A and B are shown apart, each in its own frame.
Chain A
Amino acid sequence: MSATASSEVVVHAAPAARGHRVAELISRYRPVVIAVVILVIFGITSIKNASFASSSNIQGILSIGAIYLLLAVGEAMVIITRNVDLSVGSTLGLSAFTVGEMFNHNPHTQIWLVFLVGIGIGIGCGLIIGLITTLARVPSLVVTLAALYIIRGFVNIIGTGVQIEPTVIPHSFVSLGYSTVLGIPWLFIIVLVVALAAAYWMRAFPAGRELYAIGSNPPAAVLAGIPVARRVITVFVLSGALAGLGGVLFLAQVATVNSSAGSGYELIEVTAVVVGGVAIFGGSGSVIGAVLGAILLQVINQALVAAQISAFWDSAVAGALLLLAISFDRLVSFRASRALVAKEGVTYVE
């Protein structure tokens, strides 16, 4: 080898690797951190208002928030593939309104049929969005923003002059919205099943892991032979299906619906997902984290009410949390890349 005169290269690896590992640990246990924050908020709020930690109040939070949690599962899967779904609120509205209309026409409609139609509407919306995103190579931000307006417009058109009164909704259907099993709301059980199934699929099955690969490095995913288009269409279909299911549950919960049902949900879902530790540019995070993020937003919302703080603060707090979460993620990845540079940077010793 060439005797590079009087110089020798030393690689500093150890400290960089350690710094990196700390950052990695913090982001890996993000769900735990959020769970702790939720408990802390409960503790503080209970001091001011003892009834906040009562089981009936917790039931209420889980039940009211359930639909947000459900949609967060789909949104998390979409964002993990480096896409975004802004259409979920409108899809929920379309599903809820259509299902309400079914009861309007026939109050004795079978409940399984109602679920089938609601989820079917969501699947249809998701399929169209997924096809346009992958085949026409239009960024999903644009496709789903357009879908948000188009679907909402559609709901407004069919909803003009239509009233869906609580009286036409069968009691057996509405009871789904508030009844509990062993003290746990039905709605929350549905969310739990969906979230655990999604989390298991994304962890243990090749197709699930491939979603992370797609979000982590899209061109490399193509080179690795992953059917990227099929996977992306799948997540939009799943997200749409959950939004459709959410619409049915929305109707069960409030027993009435107007054409603005679900408006604004999409931004709450994106916030919940990012607060829950899913990277906004995909590749990392988990469905469970996203659900915890959604719970956190709900708990803050309710805690402000319980502490008799103006509800106007709710949006401000959610925004601040979002900023905090993203800043933290940037900091972690900045530290990771710094560690990388430090590791590769060579020091010349004379």
Chain B
Amino acid sequence: MKSDRSQEEAAGDGVPGASNSARPLLAATHVSKSFGAVKAVIDATLELYAGEAHALVGENGAGKSTLVKMLAGVHQPDSGTLLIDGDPVALNNPAAARDAGIAVIYQEPTLFPDLDVAENVFMGRLPRRPGGRIDRGLMDKEVHLVLGRLGVRLDPGRATRGLSIADQQIVEIAKALTLEAKVIVMDEPTAALSSAEVARLFRVIEALREGGAAVLFISHRLDEVFATCQRVTVMRDGRSVLASAASELTSEQLVRAMVGRDLEKRDKSTAKVGEVVLSVERLTREGKFVDISFEVRAGEIVGLAGLVGAGRSEIAEAVFGIDRYDAGSVKIAGESLKKGSPTAAMAAGIGLVPEDRRQHGLVMDESTERNIVMASLGRVQRHGLIVSKLSREFALDWARRLQIKYGRIADPVATLSGGNQQKVVLAKWLSRKPALLIVDEPTRGIDVGTKAEVHRLIENLAADGVAVLMISSELPEMLLLADRIIVIREGRLVHEIARADASEEAIIAAAAGVFSGAAA
């Protein structure tokens, strides 16, 4: 549905914006990749030149990760070619990519925690002295040399267990340099770094560029893109829609290229908004979120927007009592809610439809019936024993109400489609008649038809006076359903947008920190 929409801004499709007199060090030209029916990357083009830091930006699900995995040799393109110095190459596995001079540094590096820094850098190719023993002196010397080039101090003999994520990334970069990598891909390297660490990483990127390497920098933070990168490629719905010199772009243009679609906001009959149901005051969990205050009223759908990792799910989990919080309070209908107790949260009328329904929402091997009644066992038992007739009737009733499509209600819930599984999770909580329902990514991985049904369910729920707190990374969904949108960035509530003012641009701008003035 997304992919074959015509794109007005696709004029620059596949055409690099900057001067390309020199030959690119690495190029992916018109590459496509599908997983089953899902077209992850469609006819995308990316060109990296020696000595440049190149940003790859796009919304969640725009296809950046898939493109990177093709460069890393993890996936192979279905069509299109990868070129190194102008020559076509096949990267059939990660080792082939490494041998071709491409190094990928993932957000959370995978090191050997029990080994020291130098051993991590050289593992798999430890240098030998005559006689076959490890040449430790050479290792230390080379690591010193490389770290010196990067301007980082790190003891080569220190175990990597306990190193910060930032230092672990440095170890990975050092490994890439000793392999003489020409292209260094950094997949959201700054997501877990503090600002001081980010500044150091930027100096390292600068040093890499000066050494003649090409750095592909993936980030959601547009200010970082403008601070470090010379060129930008934007991906949207699997396509590369814009390639340009960073200096020729404004952040507004960049955001528009990332969002790119016009979505009519559906008119929603303004439901009667009732009393305050959930009141969160100055909620803080160290390192996760800080000073979060908001309210959700009966009949209202409040959206929690933000980038993945901004702290949205953590806030929801703290409210529901799965996670602890360090300061602040959570009140339901004016009553303080006991901290860290899902049982208390459930008793107070909160339901949680978690992000990962397979892991946390359902018992996959159990029947649809068992899963529906799971949170309502008190209603189907007599003298402490579950009565199968009651349980069956209860489950059938809710399956009918939510129009769940199943073979037999006693079959494992794993046999249902993703959308119907999600309805089972919803049924489980709706049958408890919650005062507040928290839904985390309610339509992730659900087919389009069922998605609309889930949306209608959530709307009906609010119309019946339930307060709904919704987390979603899909902006169209957010705009469709939410009465108010709260934007979380790096653990802080940075913006609150009323339904009338909401647009994808406004949400992305606040979530990515483009308009720093929006910070509360």
Task: Using CB atoms and an 8 Å cutoff, list the residues of chain A in contact with chain B.
Answer: 1-5, 7-9, 11, 13, 16-17, 20, 24, 204-206, 209-210, 212-213, 215-217, 219-221, 223-226, 279, 283-284, 336, 339-341, 343-348
Contact = CB atoms under 8 A, between A and B. Distances in A.
A336 B162 contact: yes
A339 B126 contact: no
Nearest to B95: A225
22 contacts: A11-B164, A11-B194, A20-B162, A204-B133, A205-B132, A206-B126, A209-B119, A210-B123, A213-B119, A215-B114, A216-B113, A216-B114, A217-B110, A217-B112, A219-B110, A220-B111, A221-B112, A223-B94, A344-B164, A346-B194, A346-B287, A348-B290
Interface in B79-133: 94-95, 110-115, 119, 123-126, 128, 132-133
What interface size band does chain B fall in? 35 or more
B498 to A, nearest CB: 21
A282 to B, nearest CB: 8
Nearest to B112: A216
Nearest to A333: B161
B444 to A, nearest CB: 26
A224 to B, nearest CB: 3
A345 B519 CA distance: 22
Nearest to B224: A1
B286 A344 contact: no
B95 to A, nearest CB: 6
Nearest to B512: A2
Q: What are the 10 tightest A-B residue pairs by CB atom distance, in nearest-first order?
A: A224-B124, A345-B287, A283-B114, A5-B519, A206-B126, A216-B112, A225-B124, A216-B114, A2-B223, A2-B516
Given A11-B194, A219-B110, A348-B290, A2 B513 contact: yes
A244 B290 CA distance: 62
Given A221-B112, A341-B287, 19 more contacts: A2-B223, A3-B516, A5-B519, A24-B162, A204-B134, A206-B128, A209-B119, A215-B114, A216-B115, A217-B111, A217-B113, A220-B110, A224-B123, A279-B114, A283-B113, A339-B162, A345-B286, A345-B287, A346-B287
A340 B133 CA distance: 33
B196 interface: yes
Contacts of A4: 195, 490, 513, 516, 519
B493 to A, nearest CB: 12
A229 to B, nearest CB: 14
A212 B286 contact: no
Nearest to A220: B110
Nearest to B192: A344
A50 to B, nearest CB: 44
Nearest to B125: A225
B43 interface: no
A24 B227 CA distance: 39
A213 B287 contact: no
A283 B159 CA distance: 12
A343 B119 CA distance: 23
Nearest to A282: B114
Contacts of A340: 161-164
A220 B106 CA distance: 13
Contacts of A344: 164-165, 192, 287
Contacts of B519: 4-5
Contact of A284 (B114, B128, B195, B516): B114
Contacts of B194: 9, 11, 346
Contacts of B159: 24
Nearest to A346: B194
Interface in B146-184: 159, 161-165
Contacts of A284: 114
B126 A11 contact: no
Contacts of A348: 290
Contacts of B128: 206
B123 A213 contact: yes
B392 to A, nearest CB: 40
B196 A9 contact: yes
Contacts of B474: none
A196 B516 CA distance: 63
B314 interface: no
A210 B123 CA distance: 7
Contact of A205 (B124, B133, B196): B133
A9 B195 contact: yes
Given A2-B516, A346-B287, A220 B164 contact: no
B197 interface: yes
B196 A11 contact: yes
Given A11-B196, A216-B112, A226 B123 contact: yes
A13 B154 CA distance: 14
Nearest to B492: A7
Interface in B183-202: 192, 194-197
A205 B135 CA distance: 9
Contacts of A16: 162
A5 B515 CA distance: 11
A350 B20 CA distance: 46
Contacts of B520: 5
B134 A205 contact: yes
B114 A212 contact: yes
- Most-contacted residue by chain B among A3, A16, A224, A284 (CB, 10 A): A224
A30 B123 CA distance: 25
- Most-contacted residue by chain B among A2, A9, A13, A283 (CB, 10 A): A2
A278 B494 CA distance: 49
A215 B115 CA distance: 10
B115 A213 contact: yes
B161 A336 contact: yes
B324 to A, nearest CB: 13
A212 B134 CA distance: 14
Contacts of A220: 110-112
A198 to B, nearest CB: 15
Nearest to B286: A345
A1 B126 CA distance: 41
Nearest to B288: A345
A344 to B, nearest CB: 5
A219 B123 CA distance: 13
A331 to B, nearest CB: 15
A1 B227 contact: yes
A219 B159 CA distance: 19
A178 to B, nearest CB: 37
A165 B189 CA distance: 71
A212 B223 CA distance: 42
Contacts of A5: 516, 519-520
A339 B113 CA distance: 14
Nearest to B166: A344
A343 B95 CA distance: 33
Contacts of B115: 209, 212-213, 216
A18 B235 CA distance: 44
Interface in B30-87: none
B339 to A, nearest CB: 19
A213 B196 CA distance: 31
Contacts of A206: 126, 128, 132, 134
B515 to A, nearest CB: 9
B287 to A, nearest CB: 4
Nearest to A19: B162
Contacts of B197: 11
Contacts of A1: 223, 227
A343 B167 CA distance: 11
Given A206-B134, A225-B95, A226-B124, A212 B112 contact: yes
